[in-house]
A and B are shown apart, each in its own frame.
Chain A
Amino acid sequence: MSAPLLQIDDLRVRIPSRRGEVKAVDGLSFSVAPGEVVGIVGESGSGKSMLALSMLQLIPKPGRITGGRIALNGRNLIGLSEAEMREVRGNEIGMIFQDPSASLNPVLRIGRQVAETVEAHHRVTPAQSWRRSVEMLQGVRIPDPEARARDYPHQYSGGMRQRVVIAIGMANAPKLLIADEPTTALDVTVQAQIMGLLGRMNKETGTAILLISHNIALVSRFCTRVLVMYAGRIVEAGPTAQVFANPEHPYTRALLNAVPRIDRRVEEGLQTIAGRPPDLASLPAGCAFEPRCPARLRSCAEEQPPAFPAGEGRFARCWLAEHSKHQQGNSRS
């Protein structure tokens, strides 16, 4: 395998609060290869967005990164000065946020908002950055980009605004694009267009995409690899098709069950995951999913499961994964 573009090791993000330190990201490790499309799924409050913000070091105060390594092309971003981090933001790592209406400044022209991303990283004249901005708008399929660049966000539809946000994220052709819930605020038909656009960007420019979403269907269609996040940790990871077809971790299974399915009768009801996500300020000593887990063992509450390998490029943080491995081993012998 080629050298990873992004390598995160044992990342920890803490947010001090009145109830104690919230462990938003708790010893999390993964890597992204150049040009790869990786999905991160999990419930609200599992630390997905904090993880995204920590890569740009834009965690809202008083939260902070307390440990670990975020290496981009081998260079550790943690410990960089604010000025060095500014060089990374929008240039080496692009970011797309959830709500396109709120992500754009209502009083600045669309073209200006794309252009200033270019200007933040290149010595260009306003005319040059404007031209680049129009090019980018054309690239995200804004009709009549020359004229529409002079419009303001309120003159755009939601889907077009998200295209603009993508244009901003891609303006400097970053190696990595982080998309945090890029389609949550959009209509289903528009969602498909936006995901198609992101896919095209990935193929044409070779930009790796980290797609953060709670939409399992979206991730399964779009990502080659998936990371399942729970309580600030990755509980299962592997190729999307295998993980979703054959989940090892009970949490992944529960997530998949909670996806409403069109072929299931309404009378059967919508499946939910029993219980609530754990309080990140006081995590249990054992597995964080144990209180909600339908398959818990006695040891689960006592000891945190390590990442057990579960096939090619797969792992699961669950004692059951250890058992299943033993069974595989036994049957083979």
Chain B
Amino acid sequence: MLSFLIKRILSAIPTLLIAYTLVFFIAHATPGSPWDSGGNRPIEPSIKAVLDAKYNLDKPLYVQYTSYLWNALRGDFGPSYRDRTQSVNDIVARFLPVSLKLGAAAMLLAVLLGLPLGALAALTRHPAVDGLIRMISTLGISMPTYVVTSILIVSLGVGLGLVPTFGWKGLFTASSLVPIFSLALAPLAAVIRCFRTSMLEVMNLDFVRTARAKGMKPLPIIIHHMGRNALIPAITVAGSYAAYVLVGSFFVESIAGIPGFGRYFVLAIAARDYPVIIGTTLIYAVIVVVINLLVDLSYFLLDPRARLEQGR
């Protein structure tokens, strides 16, 4: 168990290094420079030269590559070129928590709602209930988030006036409802689909019949015998959604006016803000690695056979 953990953490190092290398060279290979304001007044070449010199952009690429890596390892991701009063660390500290909170709430909603709905769809004797739940799940998978967000804002915000149409006032306010639901819909749909399928597979296995022959009540059988065994695929699916739900969605945050990480990430790319692009990508990569690790750890918790295979 411990050796598995150490092995996985060590294997994350090359993963992160590759992510850094890729994003560094892709960012620098994109045409344009950080100093293009995008307006109709091109920047003075002498000023550009001074700026380049100040931020080491005049040095050869490999020098920039190593010096940034060295600084990043010590926790300094550099200044933002777009907003020079802020460092990347400041930006991450300001924007990431908003996205993390919304994302965590959305994932919690997706799992807490998805598992019971998936189980209900699998176990119900009424085809209509199963059909309704499957329809919700198909809609959730096929509708893009920007459509969902727009529909929610128009219906709940404009139509019913229940939620503000724009802006962010904190997690426990009405302003978080639309982004949470928009973010949750895709993972919710995926969890429902996956859990329904695996419950259907599990419910006819012999040990479930054994449990019924013991005289157990339906709910403990569903939870301990069917659920425990059906959970692993659902957790895997939820994990793959968690990474990108947690760092925030550009569309949801832009449409609902949330000052979040996902939106800032895309804006930084448009502005060729190299340190921000690289820093945020690395954060994203770390989150993906951590979530994958958590998913793997959940296998240990859920399936004793995994302990035997990988624990050695």
Interface residues of A (CB under 8 A from B): 56, 58, 60, 86-91, 94-95, 97, 99, 102-108, 116-117, 120-121, 152, 154-155, 165, 168
- Residue of chain A at shortest CB distance from B305: A154
- Interface pair B214/A104, CB less than 8 Å apart: no
Query: What's the Cα separation between A106 and B225 when bound, in Å?
Result: 9
Query: What's the Cα separation between A38 and B207 when bound, in Å?
Result: 26
Interface residues of B (CB under 8 A from A): 204-207, 209-217, 220, 224-225, 228-229, 302-305, 308
Of the candidates A56, A87, A106, A154, which one forms a contact with B213 in the assembled complex, judged by CB atoms under 8 Å apart?
A56
Of the candidates B209, B214, B304, which one forms a contact with A120 in the assembled complex, judged by CB atoms under 8 Å apart?
B214
- Residue of chain B at shortest CB distance from A169: B213
Smallest beta-carbon distance A82→chain B, Å: 9
The listed residue with most A CB atoms (<10 A of its CB), out of B205, B207, B213, B225, is: B213
User: In the complex, which residues of chain B have a beta carbon less than 8 angstroms from the beta carbon of A89?
Assistant: 212-215
- Interface pair B305/A106, CB less than 8 Å apart: yes
- Interface pair A106/B304, CB less than 8 Å apart: yes
- Interface pair A154/B214, CB less than 8 Å apart: no
Smallest beta-carbon distance B252→chain A, Å: 36
- Residue of chain B at shortest CB distance from A152: B304
Smallest beta-carbon distance B283→chain A, Å: 35
Query: What's the Cα separation between A121 and B205 when bound, in Å?
Result: 23
- Interface pair B305/A152, CB less than 8 Å apart: yes
- Interface pair B207/A154, CB less than 8 Å apart: no
- Interface pair A58/B213, CB less than 8 Å apart: yes
Smallest beta-carbon distance A52→chain B, Å: 10
The 22 listed contacts between A and B (C-beta, < 8 Å) are A87-B215, A89-B214, A90-B214, A95-B213, A97-B206, A97-B209, A97-B210, A103-B206, A103-B209, A105-B210, A105-B228, A106-B305, A107-B228, A107-B302, A108-B228, A116-B224, A120-B214, A120-B216, A121-B215, A152-B304, A155-B308, A165-B210
Smallest beta-carbon distance B152→chain A, Å: 38
- Residue of chain B at shortest CB distance from A121: B215
The listed residue with most A CB atoms (<10 A of its CB), out of B204, B304, B308, is: B304
Query: What's the Cα separation between A116 and B229 when bound, in Å?
Result: 17
The 10 closest A-B pairs by CB, nearest first: A90-B215, A102-B206, A89-B215, A90-B214, A152-B304, A95-B213, A105-B207, A117-B214, A120-B215, A103-B210
User: In the complex, which residues of chain A have a beta carbon less than 8 angstroms from the beta carbon of B220?
Assistant: 116
Smallest beta-carbon distance A97→chain B, Å: 6
- Residue of chain A at shortest CB distance from B205: A102
Query: What's the Cα separation between A117 and B220 when bound, in Å?
Result: 12
User: In the complex, which residues of chain B have a beta carbon less than 8 angstroms from the beta carbon of A86?
Assistant: 215-217
Q: A89-B215, A90-B214, A168-B214 are in contact. List 19 more A-B contacts (CB 8 A).
A: A86-B217, A89-B212, A90-B216, A95-B210, A97-B209, A97-B213, A99-B206, A103-B210, A105-B207, A105-B210, A105-B224, A106-B229, A106-B303, A106-B304, A107-B228, A116-B224, A120-B217, A152-B305, A165-B210
User: In the complex, which residues of chain A have a beta carbon less than 8 angstroms from the beta carbon of B209?
Assistant: 58, 97, 103
User: In the complex, which residues of chain A have a beta carbon less than 8 angstroms from the beta carbon of B205?
Assistant: 102
Smallest beta-carbon distance B11→chain A, Å: 27
- Residue of chain A at shortest CB distance from B225: A105
Smallest beta-carbon distance A72→chain B, Å: 14
Smallest beta-carbon distance A206→chain B, Å: 21
User: In the complex, which residues of chain B have a beta carbon less than 8 angstroms from the beta carbon of A97?
Assistant: 206, 209-210, 213
- Interface pair B214/A116, CB less than 8 Å apart: yes
The listed residue with most A CB atoms (<10 A of its CB), out of B216, B217, B308, is: B216
Query: What's the Cα separation between A154 and B224 when bound, in Å?
Result: 18
- Residue of chain A at shortest CB distance from B232: A107
User: In the complex, which residues of chain B have a beta carbon less than 8 angstroms from the beta carbon of A152?
Assistant: 304-305
Query: What's the Cα separation between A121 and B305 when bound, in Å?
Result: 30
User: In the complex, which residues of chain A have a beta carbon less than 8 angstroms from the beta carbon of B216?
Assistant: 86, 90, 116-117, 120
Query: What's the Cα separation between A168 and B302 when bound, in Å?
Result: 23
User: In the complex, which residues of chain B have a beta carbon less than 8 angstroms from the beta carbon of A117?
Assistant: 214-216
- Interface pair B215/A91, CB less than 8 Å apart: yes
- Residue of chain B at shortest CB distance from A88: B215
Smallest beta-carbon distance B223→chain A, Å: 11
Query: What's the Cα separation between A106 and B210 when bound, in Å?
Result: 13
- Interface pair B207/A103, CB less than 8 Å apart: yes
User: In the complex, which residues of chain A have a beta carbon less than 8 angstroms from the beta carbon of B212?
Assistant: 56, 58, 89
CB within 8 Å for A168 and B304 given contacts A88-B215, A108-B224, A116-B216: no
Smallest beta-carbon distance B160→chain A, Å: 43
Query: What's the Cα separation between A90 and B211 when bound, in Å?
Result: 9
